[in-house]
Amino acid sequence: MNSRICELLDIEYPIIQGGMAWISTAELAAAVSNSGGLGVIAAGNAPADVIKKEIEKIKKLTNKPYGINVMLLSPFADEIMDLVVKEKVPVVTTGAGNPGKYIDALKSIKTKILPVVPSVALAKRVEKAGVDAVIVEGTEAGGHIGELTTMVLVPQVVDEVNIPVIAAGGIADGRGMAAAFTLGAEGVQIGTRFICSKECNIHDGYKQAVLKAKDRDTVVTGRSTGHPVRVIKNKLSKEFEKLEKSGAGIEELEKLGAGKLRLSVVDGDIKNGSVMAGQIAGLVKEIKSCDKIIEEIVKEAFEAYESAGRFYLKHSVK
């Protein structure tokens, strides 16, 4: 499988694992990298000393390239970026903001920079600033999201930038990967599917919640705070919605959300915790190892291409 993304990142398959706070640890990232994709450790809201240990761990688990996802709303974003530069981490993905002020430092150590963007405007801005590729994420994704769908956003960004585009949001199998490539993407970022992997070392309750989720089981909370977040519906999401409807201020809403991702991921409290997942959760039915997940996605993508090709051929021969 050859794309500019494979060459850029020195990986076998253009599949990047989503940086999911608390979920994307060194163990998961190493398993994805060892399977030919790009594993990514999520820094989330963790301080640099915690992420330094994750970097030490992944270096013991794989010799392949890996990335760190920097959540730009984190109070520790600056110190995480300092750590990335010091450790010469091969790839950085960013989320929830514009990474502009960090680009020069990352480029000076040849770290590849892949920002997540929710719009054409930000994609163009970061291209101009010198990033290596953009991860174009649709609103189908889990966690913090933008407004537009993957289907409409990917081709619009592809038409406006020259750097490679990685599609994200709503992709969990080879059909989704083939569709993303048809839209002009050269890689995919996959999060939700990897939650239900053997090597993802979170509480089993969280995995079971994703496996059980059906097509309409996610909801977006926090629109009124300016930080919309897609989660699986539960007691907490209902409380959050009620509080938002009552006109509560950002402070009160943020207080309700504080510490709730840890509660579900680490403690397995999937009623009172925040269970972030994408709309594609309904497609995820089984826990498998990362190498099986990737192998199946790649095989299925080729099959999807062939079947679409046969369809076009049939309809073009008059």
- If phi over 0 gives left and psi between -120 and 50 gives alpha, with beta otherwise, what is residue 312? alpha
Per CB under 6 A, 98 contacts ligand TUI: yes
Per CB under 6 A, 39 contacts ligand TUI: no
CB of 292 to ligand TUI, least distance (A): 26
166-225 residues in contact with ligand TUI (CB under 6 A) are: none
Candidate segments 51-59, 95-103, 175-183, 293-301, binder of ligand TUI by CB under 6 A: 95-103
CB of 318 to ligand TUI, least distance (A): 45
- Annotate each residue in 56-85 with x if it binds ligand TUI (CB under 6 A) or - if it does not, as one string: ---------------x-x------------
Per CB under 6 A, 229 contacts ligand TUI: yes
The alpha carbon of 155 is separated from its chain's Cα centroid by a whole number of angstroms, namely 19
CB of 60 to ligand TUI, least distance (A): 27
In single-letter form, the type of residue at position 90 comes to P
Per CB under 6 A, 116 contacts ligand TUI: yes
CB of 317 to ligand TUI, least distance (A): 43
Task: Name the residue with the smallest CB distance to ligand TUI.
Answer: 143
Pick the binder of ligand TUI from 67, 118, 164, 278 (CB under 6 A): 118
Strand partners, 221: 229
Per CB under 6 A, 149 contacts ligand TUI: no
Q: What angle do CA 244, 247, 250 make, to 5 degrees?
A: 70
